[in-house]
Amino acid sequence: MTKIVDDPESFASSALAGFSRVYGRYVRLVTGGVVRSTAVPRGKVSVVVGGGSGHYPAFAGYVGPGMADAAVAGEIFASPSTAAVARVCRNADHGGGILLGFGNYAGDVLNFGVAAERLRAEGIDVRIVTVTDDVASAPADRHLARRGIAGDFLVFKVAGAAAEAGLSLDEVERVTRLANARTFSFGVAFGGCTLPGATGPLFTVPEGMMALGLGIHGEPGIRDARIVPASDLAALLVDTVLAERPAGARRAAVLLNGLGATKYEELFVLWGVVERRLQAQGVDLVAPEAGEYVTSLDMQGCSLTVMWLDEELDRFWLAPCDTPVFRRGAAFETQPALVREEAEDAAPTFGPTSGAARESARCLAGILDAMVVALAEAEAELGRIDAFAGDGDHGQGMRRGATAARDAIHQAVAGGAGAKSALAAAGDAWADRAGGTSGAIWGLLLRSWSSAFSDTTALQDADIVRGARLALDDVMRLGGAKPGDKTLVDAFVPFVTALETAAAEGLSRKDAWQKASTACAAAAEATAPLSPRLGRARPLAERSIGHPDAGAVSLALVARTVAGRL
């Protein structure tokens, strides 16, 4: 459990700020992350990595000569927002293009992907490589559907070395994809981790048992087994990872990774038998590492990662680097970078409005007020539902995002915004503050809904119905979910369909919304028997069965809350 904390809400940002002060010779703090504080040649490919906080030394600890040029940091176990990714990339751009690297999680894929689109529109060439090393999360024939765990470290090491060597963006992308395709990990947990400010872990492991196939965001393993001696644990880890050994492969970079609360001495005991078993199976170990490289707050456990080397990967794995957490080879001669003034987000401006449109914006602000209250009251319950197969932070993220949206919409109203601009500002703030998958989805949902509104006329019933359809279409298109995947979409589709039907029947705004809200609630409950096909819950499908989807439940809660304000 995290004991040293002031405000849990600012834990991640406070930790990043403190890290930046300790390691100022390597990094400089920028909004949303860190960038290298040493000079970088113009035209060099920038390797930007990132994800949620809580995994130190991933990802800020990887920044330095020979590895990453920058790291984006979200809240604890939550994807950084689209805006944060774009900001950090702009600060890290040296003219050679950007390679974005992150673990394969839905929120990261969405936020990094949308940020890449924005940057490309600005003229910056951006490539994306997601790390997919966790053999427990998907079968071999669906390698690219796997999540990224400790393999992040090895893949990013290769990417950074390739960029430091002066390779082009095309070549850095190619080498990084090769490294990912040849990297495999498997882990076990002996105990769950606890979010800052929480009183209990996200999941527990029965006494004398271990969870196999853990996630690094507090997700429980795919199944439990009895704790075994080090020799048997080594056999489990090695044999599982070597099951997908490429034909003819012998040389390998190997990492035995601790998850945050496993003593180094325990890792070293385990390493002795891991090494012997690897060698007995004909593996030539190349500069192996044991220690904490991708953690999960205070989780008890470990993972084994093997990256099979060819001549090219061998060279980049052994190449020099100098970062806060990892140093290899000859020291780099560096000079402090010229500090560029960080561009601040432009203050929102609003065009001409009417009194009726401003009154509609005030009504929307009142709805956000009620949403914040409802989500704050439901935070613990939403987290409990999410923890069955996720990381348990859904309630926290929803409350945090709604609070930011409420503050933004009131600021927009005070600035004279109409309904369209006010709701769009709320959506952007929700996505930027909440991060993670739900933050990205709700930010997109509100912004898309706002596109049906006006800044010059009063909000009409038809606008609300049309906006609902636009929001649903964009969420499904960009989020990739469809009915039956056990996501928010399973409740959103019946909501929109019922709203459109009720409106076509001539029901009043309040009655139409109430009917849609009822349909939404029923659909949310109906997600309980479904097996998740997207997101962090997918590898833990059996644990999710019997429990409704947290995103669908929170949508139903919001729909019911809005019904009470109409």
**Pairing outcome for strands 300-308 and 289-291:** unpaired
At what angle are helices 355-386 and 394-414 packed, to 10 degrees? 170
Distance CA 10, CA 552 (A): 27
Amino acid at 447: R
Using alpha carbons, select from 186, 185, 203 the residue that is nearest to residue 300: 203
How many H helices and E strands in the chain? Answer: 17, 15
The runs of H, that is alpha helices, within 60-126 are 82-92, 106-121
Helix H or strand E encompassing 164: helix 151-164
159 token code pair: 């990417």
Distance CA 475, CA 445 (A): 6
Q: How many residues appear in the chain?
A: 566
Going from the C-alpha of 46 to that of each of 55, 165, 313, the distances in angstroms are 22, 12, 19
Distance CA 96, CA 252 (A): 30
Q: Are 52 and 13 in contact (CB under 8 A)?
A: no
Amino acid at 427: G
Distance CA 30, CA 17 (A): 9
Q: Please give the DSSP secondary-structure letter assigned to residue 143.
A: G
Q: Are 16 and 53 in contact (CB under 8 A)?
A: yes
DSSP 424-481: HHHHHHHHHHH-HHHHHHHHHHHHHHHTTS-SSS---HHHHHHHHHHHHHHHHHHH--
Q: Is 393 helix (H, G, I), strand (E, B) or coil?
A: coil
Q: Is 217 a catalytic residue?
A: yes
By 3-state DSSP, what share of the chain in percent is helix, strand and coil, each rounded to 5? 50, 15, 35
Amino acid at 11: F
Catalytic residue among 55, 94, 217, 410: 217
Using alpha carbons, select from 169, 99, 101 the residue that is nearest to residue 131: 101
Going from the C-alpha of 57 to that of each of 128, 294, 450, the distances in angstroms are 21, 6, 40
The runs of H, that is alpha helices, within 281-354 are 311-318
Helix H or strand E encompassing 495: helix 489-504
Distance CA 195, CA 182 (A): 33
- Residue with token string 């080397």: 309
Active-site residues, by number, are 217
